[in-house]
Amino acid sequence: MNTVRTGFLMAALTGIFLVVGFLLGGGPGMLIAFIFAAGTNLFAYWNSDKMLLSMYGARPVDETSAPELVHLVRQLSGQAGIPMPKVYIVDNPQPNAFATGRDPEHAAVCVTSGLLGDVNAEELAGVLAHELGHVKHRDTLTMTITATMAGAISMLANFAFFLGGGRRNNPLGFAGMLLVMLLAPIAAVLVQMAISRSREFEADKAGAEISGRPLWLASALQHIDNAAQRIDNEEAEQNPATAHMFIVNPLHSGGLSGLFSSHPSTEERVARLRAMAGAAAARPGPWA
């Protein structure tokens, strides 16, 4: 169901782009903005893993430096049916984790030192399974496409602003064009965040299936969410555009944070995982 919802949201984002592009810049303006935005995001797609890991000061680990962590990732990767990703640790007191890489063959899983210090082995397995779910579903590709479309819409609005409102013969008039320039980027961001939230639900489901224990992930999410509200993640606060990469929102924000959040509420995620556990209670999992 979430996959279908993601498809509809991506179609909506494409529709916003086409309509706004035509009204604001006509065919040529729409094409120029899209090419620029696509080029920028294409570069990010091929290099985002290196950029993100470097941004957070992640260090690679192996069987010698972090044997238990690497062994667990290897075991879960085999259960998920994907290649073993590279494993990294970030020295950060906030318990959290993220996955990156353009596809399962070029993936990396990264956990914070705070996560390793605060969760038990079962919760850690749940978190890692969730991140491997992102890798398996190629969510990096999905979010790159949506970022491209949202970036193109914002760029079109900026073009219209600097060029004096786009085409003079547009059917909306000047006031209407101002509304489009203001509201279109906001609408694009809202759709992008909705897609990100859908992918989190899918990764939760995949993580529960990979580990065979939905309650491990449910417990970890509650633990991480409580800690994240108390412990700062300075790098994430300085780079809020990366917040959607983490398993739990690393930012401290209020106001309209729920509307613009890239993550669904932890309460809803936990409720869904508990429902999965109840449905599968009679079936032994791979970790039995």
pLDDT of residue 288: 40
Contacting residues for 252 by C-beta, under 8 A, at least 6 apart? 229, 232, 237
- Residue for token digits 């290649």? 83
Q: Which pLDDT belongs to residue 94?
A: 97
Q: Which of 85-89, 125-129, 225-229, 250-254 has the lowest mean pLDDT?
A: 250-254
Kindly list the catalytic residues.
131
pTM as predicted: 0.80
String of b and e for 267-280 (b: at least 16 CB within 10 Å)? eebbebbeebbeee
Rounded to whole angstroms, the Cα distance separating 100 from 109 reads 7
CA distance 131 to 203: 7
For residue range 183-202, what is the model confidence (pLDDT) as tens digits? 777 777 777 777 888 899 99
pLDDT per residue as tens digits for the range 221-252 = 999 999 999 999 999 888 877 888 899 999 87
How many percent of the chain have pLDDT more than 70? 76
Q: Which residues contact 116 (CB under 8 A, 6 or more apart)?
A: 69, 89, 124
The pLDDT score that the predictor gives to residue 282 is: 46
